Amino acid sequence: MLKALMPVGVYSIGVMFKKESFRGETMANMMSISFGVAIAAYGEAKFDAWGVTLQLGAVAFEATRLVMIQILLTIIPCCLVFLSIPWMIVEYPILRDPSNFHLDWFIFGTNSVSAFALNFAVFLLVGKTSALTMNVAGVDKDWLLIAFSWSVIKDTVTLINLFGYGLAFVGVGLRSL
C-alpha cells in the first residue's frame, strides 16, 4: 500500500524542482492520500518499521527518478548528438569485430524492442502529461494487487487497513478528475 504514496512523492519533488506548480487543492488531495496510506500502514497486521522505512526510501528515489526523466526529456536530442560521437569511436568498432562479440539476434532483438517500447511509452506519457499523472494511474495496479492478495492468497487485511485504503482511494479518485 505504501506504493500509493508515489503520486505524493512525485508531486512534492516536482514542486521542489519546479516541474509542478504548487496548488492548495492538489496538496490537500495529496495529504488525503498520505493520511489514508498512513492509516493503512498503521493498521497492518504484520507491521515492520524497517520495511516501511525501506519502502519510503524507494518511493522517494523512484519519484526523483521520474521527475528527472521529465527534466531530461528537454535535453534528449542534444544528448543523442553528443553521445553518438564517442559511441562510434569506442563501442562501434568492438561490435563490428566478430571475434570479440557473439550476438544472438533473436533474443537481443526481442529484448531490445520490448525495452524500447516500454521506455518509449513512459517517455511519451511523462512528456505529454507529467510524472504525477503516470503515478496516479499506476496506483490502480497496486490496489488490484492488494485485492488479489486479500481474496486469493487470503492475506490479512484489517478494518483499519480498509479504512486507510478507502481514504487513499478517494484521494486518488479526486486527483484523477
Q: 101 or 126: whose pLDDT is higher?
A: 126
Residue 70 has pLDDT above 90, yes or no: no
Tell me, what's the pLDDT at 177?
59
Tell me, what's the pLDDT at 101?
67
Percent of the chain residues past pLDDT 90, beyond the cut = 14
Give me the amino acid identity at 50: W
Distance CA 17, CA 32 (A): 23
Q: Give per-residue pLDDT as tens, 19-57.
A: 888 988 888 888 888 888 888 777 776 778 898 899 899
Distance CA 142, CA 54 (A): 17
Residue 133 has pLDDT above 80, yes or no: no
Pick the closest to residue 126 from 61, 75, 67 (CA basis). 67
Q: 3 or 92: whose pLDDT is higher?
A: 92
Q: Which cell is 34 given?
A: 498520505
Q: At what angle do helices 6-16 and 24-42 cross, to 10 degrees?
A: 140
